[in-house]
Structure formats: C-alpha cells, structure tokens
Amino acid sequence: MKLRYAMVAALLFCGGTQILRAEGKLNKLSESDRRSGWRLLFDGKTTKGWRNYKKEGVSDGWVVEDGVLSRAKKGAGDIISEEQFEGFELSIEFRISPGGNSGIMFHVTETEARPWQTGPELQINDNINGHDPQKAGWLYQLYSPGRPGWMKNVEAKAGLDPERELDACHPAGQWNHIYLKQTPNQSEVMVNGVSYYRFQKGSDDWNKRVAASKFAKFKNFGKPTKGHICLQDHGDYVSYRNIKVRELPKEYDVPDPSNSTLALKPVLAFPDLQWDNWEPIDENGKVVPLRPLVITHAGDDSGRIFIATQSGTIHVLPEGAKSKKTVEYLNIKDRVLHWKKGNEEGLLGMAIHPDYKKTGKLYIYYTSSKESHTSILSEFQVDPANPNKAKADSERIIWKFAQPFANHNGGTIAFGPDGYLYMALGDGGSGNDPFDNGQNISTLLGSIMRIDINKTSGDKQYAIPPDNPFVKSPWAKPEIYAYGFRNLWRFSFDSKTGDLWAADVGQNQWEEINIVQAGRNYGWNRREGTNGFSNRGQGTVINAVDPIWEYDHQVGKSITGGEVYRGTAIPELQGKYIYADFVTGKIWALDYDVKCNKLRGNYRIPSNKMPVMTFGSDQSGEVYFGIETASGKGIYRFAHDK
C-alpha cells in the first residue's frame, strides 16, 4: 500500500513520465526520431500513402491488422509508396512466413512492366528453409554481407574465422529490421543493426555487378536517382510494420534533435597555458599532438586542476583556472603504450583518492607497452616533499587484464560517493562483440567494475564491496556493478546527487546515455540503444534498462560522455548533462529529471565542429572539455555568447 501511494505521489509530483522509446507502441516515432526528421510511411491503421504498381488504390490482398501490413492473399500485387524519394533512409521491420520469399525495392519508377526492372531489390527470405539462395538483406544478385578488412584482420589474430557466415536474421515467423541508406555518394544496408555492405549506385563496381546479373538486359535498371519504395508480392505471406523514412538533403545534414540552441560558446579555458616538458614537434620534425583525456581535481580545496594525457603524462595546474603554466605531475610514458600504436589504448583513466589530502594516492588505468593489449590499474603516491609531483617509482599494480583486441577498452575510472572505485570496461573490441561478452557476467568485459582499493582480499590487491550485486552468484564476477555495455568511453558521477551517468559508444546506428544502477543490464549486445541488435535474441535480455537518451548515426557517430554541470558561472546549464559527439563535433546539454524519469529537453551548444575527447570539472563544479591539439590550446570551458 505504501508503495502504491509513493508511486502515485511521484506521478503527481513529476507530472507523468516522458518515455524515450516507442517500443510497445507500434508505428509510432520516438522522441529522438521526431526531433531528427524521421516520419512514418505506414500509420498502422490503413494503407494510406500506398498503392499498387501502376494502379490506383491497394488491392484487398494487402490487409492491415493489429498494426501490421501484410501480403495475405493471392493476387495482392506489388505496392509502392505514393511518394518518391531521392536521398533517404528507410527503417522497416519484416516478418516472413516459413519457406517464404519477398523483397523491398527502392528508386522504382513506373516506366517498365515490373518494379524490379528499375528498382534494386533487398531480398526478404526465410534464411533456413527459403527456396532462394539469396538471403534476407542481400541486394539481389548484387551485394551480400561481408566484414570489413580491418575486422577480418584483427579477428583472425584472435583465433576467429574471418570468413564465417554473416547472417544477423531471426528465423521465419519472427520480426527482423532492415535499414537502408541511399545517397549518391554511398549507400548502406544493415539487418538488425549489423552492417551488411556498402555500395554506390552508378560506380564502376556497381556497373560491373549489374552487368553480371540478370538485370543487365534491362536498360533502366538501377538508373533512376529518384523513385518509389516498393513492397513485393512474391506469392508468400509476409508482414511489415514500423515503416519509417527520413529524407536526406544533398548535404546529408538531418535536423538536430534539440529543443533549441543555448546562447553559449566554447572559449579557451587557459589561452596562455604552457605545458611543462611537452614540445609540439619532436626531434624528427614530426608533430606530437597533446590528447587530454582526464580533467579533474583533488577535492583538497587547493583549487588545483589535474589533466591526464593519453600518452602517459599528468599535469597539474597549480593555480587552478588562473594558471599560466602546468607542472608535470607524473610521467609514466616508459610503461604506457603510445596511442599512435593503438588509438583506443594508452593512458585512459585517472582518479584521485577521495581522501587525497591524507593519503596522497591516485589511480591510473592504462595500456601496457610491455604486454600486448594488456590493461593495468595501478596506484601511485604523491611525493611527500612536493605536492605537485607524484612518484613514478611508487607504482603498485592493483589489477591486470589481457584484452582480446586493441579497441573497446572503456577508459573511465572514478570514485563514487560511497568511496569505492568504479571502472568501465568495453566489450573486448573488434565489432559486433564477436565473443558475446556484453551479456556474459562470467567475464568483466562489457561491465562497470566496483572495487574497494582501501583493502586487499586473498591474492587480490583490492576487496569486493559486500553489497556488490553479484557477490553471491557462483557464475558471475563479483566485481561487476552493472553490465551490458559496448564501450563506456566516459562516465561520471553527479557531484550533487551521486547519480552515475554513462555514455555508451554505439556500433552502427545508435549512441546512448544511461543512468547506471547496481545489478542492472543495459542491453548490449542484444540491443543497441533501444533497438534490437543481431540475431542473438532481444528476448534473452534479462531486465534490460533503456537509455534515457539516444541519437542515430546521421546525427553523430561517437558519443563522448560528459558531466552534470554544478558550477555557478552558467546558470542555464545548472543540473544539465553536458555531452558531445567526437565525429561530428556537436555539443549538447541534456536536461533530464532522474527522479521522475522524465526528459525535459535537449539543447544544442554552438561549436565549430570540435572533436571533444573528454569532459571534466574543477572542485567548484565548472565544466571543461578537451580536444586533441598540436598547439597546447586544447582545454575549453563555456561562456555566454553576447
């Protein structure tokens, strides 16, 4: 009874909740969809917007029932969208009957007898018992799925067969998702979130493949650059739902998923800063960029700011925001793999002990230059004779872990409000999580760890907090706090509420932000964001938690997690989560009510396409961010744009 009253009170106080995803609401757009320009091609109730090829209206062989459009009777005929599209993205779910076959065509024109004589066809098939050797998602007689060269190379070294079949489809009778992007420069097809292939209509490769296919005799095949979308009647029962389209202008920019733009701008936080013991050019005349990956403070009321670089150095700004020159606090480049040898390796994380004033301890997460693909968590000690110097020879290795690949090492380590150390690990790397680590709690990969570094236990240089969620599970790693992550590059704690915010870098389509709670599963690799991924089975996800926000890969391609702003200089940012996209250089402020699970808004912060690598804050809550720089001017803050 008390729980019921609490829930009612929460709803009244919060004014209801705003849900991100549209799952369970067939043929609806999510908040992210609406803001970024997607629209429905099927309303779930009627065949409005469709007609039979070269005819008016839709035959009664196509039926709409329970939000699903089905080719259900003989003589249904091929149907086409009333609209024509040039550059576009199509998102569509299909369910094929056992042994069935169908197709989805695009750039169809009504100049020929049959739609497939102009429009290329995405095959729809029962991949197990179908009567066509061309499988679902293949571009009929033209393109079939394959792994990119880099993935084949790294997976072969890891003992996987790089030529193994790539089939992401669920069996007949189950729903599958197809994504098609069609632009003049490059097109791509994905099935259940897995990238199958890329192509360019009209290219030499395209023309060569067409010439070798049955379509060579049709002079207009593949030639139209604008046309209808077509759902084929191949004589078998097939169903479709959640049919969405987004038109792409020639510049390929899509609407930004934000409420409005804040009158703010990034400015150099330390315009005259000189970096101790760093030169932008080496002895061979090569540029040596600086990559700041951690910006933090010691919590000791000194006002100092600490900045760790990916190459293995840590700098302290002794006068905080007023500093003109850094002091090299620690240099462990002799044991850290340089990031130019592994872009996602190097010094990836740093956390200063919450009682630093007494202990003088800090912790570093880095990739070893001595052991291939080996991640190390170590403790270092400040020099008792100099508060701005740590002792490189004071290293105590707390934890060591061999990674299967060079990428997806996570990176952030941070102390929570409970005093325990949290550390993010990626799924192990390559692409599509080939070892299925994301949902495997018998490995630490794909998880956030939570450990007590103030104690030791047995042969471990740390202890397991007694309230960790899996301490009593015989098959789980007791260090795991939460799991189901692909690659948490950056996470942070809200300094006011203690909430754990984590941004998970996506695979092919979706970037996401999560509020992380103990013992919860965040979906990867059965889901990417709120969307099903691969054919491992979304239904097997146990108690999966939705992200609070996601955006697709036309908006951005690699999220950089940020900080909840708790400073005073920019009141309009108070309580908002500042984050960015590394590839597109966009920066946003997400206004989300964690207590009420309610999205209040997503706001754009103008920037000049800055590839943000990290965010951090000083002890007063002012937020900074860092970008790679060859001039040393790579640390920014926000200011009002007057």
Q: Which residues, listed in sequence order, are joined to residue 231 by a DSSP beta bridge?
A: 79, 104
Rounded Cα distance, 376 and 398, in Å? 8
The confidence score (pLDDT) of residue 227 equals: 98
Q: Measured at the alpha carbon of residue 376, what is the angle toward residues 370 and 380, in degrees to the nearest 5?
A: 105
Whole-number average pLDDT of the chain? 94
Question: What amino acid is encoded at 55 in this protein?
Answer: K
Stretches where the chain sits below pLDDT 50 are 1-12, 16-19, 21-23
Residue with tokens 């013992």: 519
Q: Which helix (H) or strand (E) holds 77?
A: none
The confidence score (pLDDT) of residue 198 equals: 98
What domains does the chain contain, in order, with CATH numbers?
38-247 (2.60.120.560), 344-611 (2.120.10.30)
Q: What is the pTM of this model?
A: 0.95
Which of 328, 324, 336, 403 is CA-nearest to residue 364?
336
How would you write 44-75 as a 3-class SS string?
CCCCCCEEECCCCCCCCCEEEECCEEEECCCC
The confidence score (pLDDT) of residue 251 equals: 77
Q: What is the pLDDT of residues 341-371, one digit of tens each?
A: 989 999 999 999 999 999 999 999 999 999 9
Rounded Cα distance, 50 and 92, in Å? 15
Contacts of 202-211 with CB under 8 Å at 24 or more apart are 206/142, 209/141, 209/142, 209/143, 210/142
3-state secondary structure of 212: coil
Rounded Cα distance, 188 and 183, in Å? 9
Rounded Cα distance, 38 and 35, in Å? 8
The confidence score (pLDDT) of residue 129 equals: 94
**15 CB burial (10 A radius; 0-12, 13-18, 19+):** exposed
How would you write 423-446 as a 3-class SS string?
EECCCCCCCCCCCCCCCCCCCCCC
Query: How many residues are present in the chain?
Result: 642
Q: What is the pLDDT of residues 242-278, one digit of tens each?
A: 999 999 988 778 999 999 999 999 999 999 999 999 9
Give the DSSP letter of residue 320. Answer: G
The confidence score (pLDDT) of residue 538 equals: 57
C-beta of residue 199 within 8 angstroms of C-beta of residue 142: yes
Question: What amino acid is encoded at 624 in this protein?
Answer: Y
Q: What is the pLDDT of residues 52-80, one digit of tens each?
A: 999 999 999 999 999 999 999 999 999 99
CA 495 and chain centroid, separation: 24
Question: What amino acid is encoded at 499 in this protein?
Answer: D
The confidence score (pLDDT) of residue 83 equals: 98
Rounded Cα distance, 367 and 337, in Å? 6
Give the DSSP letter of residue 521. Answer: B
CA 357 and chain centroid, separation: 37
3-state secondary structure of 35: helix
The Cα-based distances of 419 to 57, 410, 450, 502 in angstroms read 66, 21, 10, 18
